[in-house]
Amino acid sequence: MVTAIDEIRRIAGAIPDPEMPALTIADLGILRDVRMDGSGHVDVDITPTYSGCPALDVIREDVERCIRDQGYTDVAVRVVLSPAWTTEWMSEAGRVKLREYGIAPPRQQLFDLQALKIAVECPRCDSPRTHELAHFGSTQCQAVRRCDACGETFPHFKEH
């Protein structure tokens, strides 16, 4: 049986990220918790990918609006900064969507959060022969890389 909390989590989780609309806030792992008390008050916790994320206010407003549009009138969206967001919170579906969108997904971290240093594969030709051109791309969470095999430039969602 689907509960009200499950429904609210589904509604909120389906909201697209304003900077990367191919991904939802659930794909990114930004949606942290949903609670509802006996009076129907809904609390939603979100954690931004960066504490200074310029899309944070838009995400908060979208979450609040979408939940209210479903008839839940008493909604509070809380920004939780600790623990800090990590790319480990990103879903596997989110990683696949990034790659399909042309952005190299963050590499998986292993061994108690010590990143295994492996190549960033080109999302166009899958070559591991790539190099970083700029540490910051169109957003703070992306770098710009070039593939040495096909010559294409592409964004890489950095690990953190």
Residues paired with residue 45 on neighbouring β-strands, in sequence order = 33, 78
- Residue-range definition of the domain harbouring residue 43: 4-85
Angle, in degrees to the nearest 10, between helices 4-13 and 56-69: 140
Chosen domain end from 59, 85, 111: 85
The predicted structure's pLDDT at residue 113: 46
CA distances from 62 to 1, 68, 69, 77, 90 (A): 27, 10, 10, 10, 20
Give the Cα separation of 61 and 74 in Å (integer): 14
The predicted structure's pLDDT at residue 92: 94
Domains: count for the chain: 2
Chosen domain end from 58, 85, 112: 85
> Quick one: 119 and 147 in the same domain?
yes
Task: Kindly report the CATH number assigned to the domain that includes residue 43.
Answer: 3.30.300.130
Per-residue pLDDT of the chain (160 residues; tens, 9 = 90+): 879 999 999 999 999 999 889 999 999 999 999 999 999 999 999 999 888 888 899 999 999 999 999 999 999 999 999 999 999 999 999 999 999 999 999 887 654 444 455 789 999 999 999 999 999 888 888 899 999 999 999 999 888 7
Give the Cα separation of 64 and 43 in Å (integer): 10
